[in-house]
């Protein structure tokens, strides 16, 4: 596993602040770069399952029909990629993370969560950061379904952390008592990833 790909369309000589809205050493981009390890997975909705396991009272395996029938809500937020680009005012629609948490009921000892994606990619974060009103299982961006490259049919968005703390093509969650490094975290990326503290690496 090498370092994350370097972006070519962002000149990191320039920095943006916009009155404190943009975290340190980030550059605002209007484009939406595509970044992931490996290739875009093929997702078949008929066989897609969203599985929640580990330290929860109600482990679940949702079919696409069950998952996508959960109530959809809008959210608007900024995203910050560890490779120094930020994209402001993203309009998402999706299922609030809190809605799913209320169904699976994490146990009090569940302090960390590992998100899993089709193809096996993972990312970890504290449950405290996951259990927030703004966080979504996003299905749509700018009024359109997600493109395959951006995570169709569903991706996690945790806007107060770096953007890698949201799995594209998400298909599961595991709740844990002890933090377990995900894909990038195993090669040195931060276990939490707060862009305001520049928690890029550890
Ligand atoms: N499944 C999966 N999700 C992922 C990644 C990945 O490699 N695989 N990369 C992460 C990283 S590092 C970033 S910056 C964002 C990029 O999302 P985008 O391509 O929609 O901009 O997805 C995150 N989610
Ligand atoms: Mo990233």
Residues 160-184: tens digit of each pLDDT: 999 999 999 999 999 999 999 999 9
- 156 Cα distance to chain centroid: 4
pLDDT of residue 13: 47
- Residue 34 beta carbon below 6 angstroms from any ligand 1 atom: yes
In this predicted structure, the answer to whether residue 152 has a pLDDT above a threshold of 90 is yes
Q: Chain-wide mean pLDDT for the chain?
A: 94
Other C-beta atoms lying within 10 Å of the C-beta of residue 89 = 9
Q: Whose CA is nearest to atom 16 of ligand 1?
A: 35
Say which residues have a Cβ less than 8 Å from residue 80's Cβ, sequence separation at least 6.
22, 23, 26, 86, 162, 163, 195
For the stretch 120-131, pLDDT in tens is 999 999 999 999
Please state, for a pLDDT cut of 90, what percent of the chain lies above it: 90
The reported pTM is 0.94
For the stretch 76-119, pLDDT in tens is 999 999 999 999 999 999 999 999 999 999 999 999 999 999 99
- Ligand 1 atom closest to 156 (CA): 24
At residue 54, φ and ψ (nearest 5 deg) are 85, -145
Which band of pLDDT confidence, cut at 50, 70 and 90, is reported for residue 16? Answer: confident
Map residue 74 onto helix, strand or coil: strand
In this predicted structure, the answer to whether residue 48 has a pLDDT above a threshold of 90 is yes
- Residue 33 beta carbon below 6 angstroms from any ligand 1 atom: yes
pLDDT of residue 19: 86
Q: Whose CA is nearest to atom 7 of ligand 1?
A: 36
36 C-alpha vs ligand 1 centroid, how far in Å?
5
Q: Which CATH class is domain 43-75+89-197?
A: alpha beta
Say which residues have a Cβ less than 8 Å from residue 135's Cβ, sequence separation at least 6.
96, 97, 98, 156, 157, 158, 159
In this predicted structure, the answer to whether residue 191 has a pLDDT above a threshold of 50 is yes
180 C-alpha vs ligand 2 centroid, how far in Å?
19
Exposure string over 132-156, b if 16+ CB within 10 A, otherwise e: eeebbbbbbbeeeebeeebbbbbbb
């Amino acid at each position: 596993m090498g370092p994350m790909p370097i972006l070519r369309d962002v000149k990191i000589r320039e920095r943006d602040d916009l009155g404190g809205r943009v975290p340190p050493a980030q550059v605002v981009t209007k484009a939406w770069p595509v970044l992931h390890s490996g290739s875009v997975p093929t997702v078949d909705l008929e066989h897609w399952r969203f599985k929640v396991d580990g330290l929860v009272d109600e482990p679940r395996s949702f079919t696409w029909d069950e998952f996508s029938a959960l109530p959809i809500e809008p959210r608007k937020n900024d995203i910050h990629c560890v490779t120094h680009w930020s994209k402001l005012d993203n309009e998402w629609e999706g299922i609030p993370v809190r809605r799913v948490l209320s169904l699976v009921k994490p146990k009090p000892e569940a302090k960390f969560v590992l998100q899993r994606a089709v193809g096996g990619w993972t990312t970890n974060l504290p449950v405290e950061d996951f259990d927030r009103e703004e966080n979504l299982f996003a299905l749509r961006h700018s009024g359109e379904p997600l493109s395959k490259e951006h995570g169709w049919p569903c991706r996690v968005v945790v806007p107060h952390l770096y953007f890698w703390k949201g799995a594209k093509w998400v298909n599961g969650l595991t709740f844990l008592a002890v933090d377990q490094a995900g894909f990038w975290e195993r090669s040195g990326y931060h276990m939490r990833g707060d862009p305001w503290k520049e928690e890029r690496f550890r």
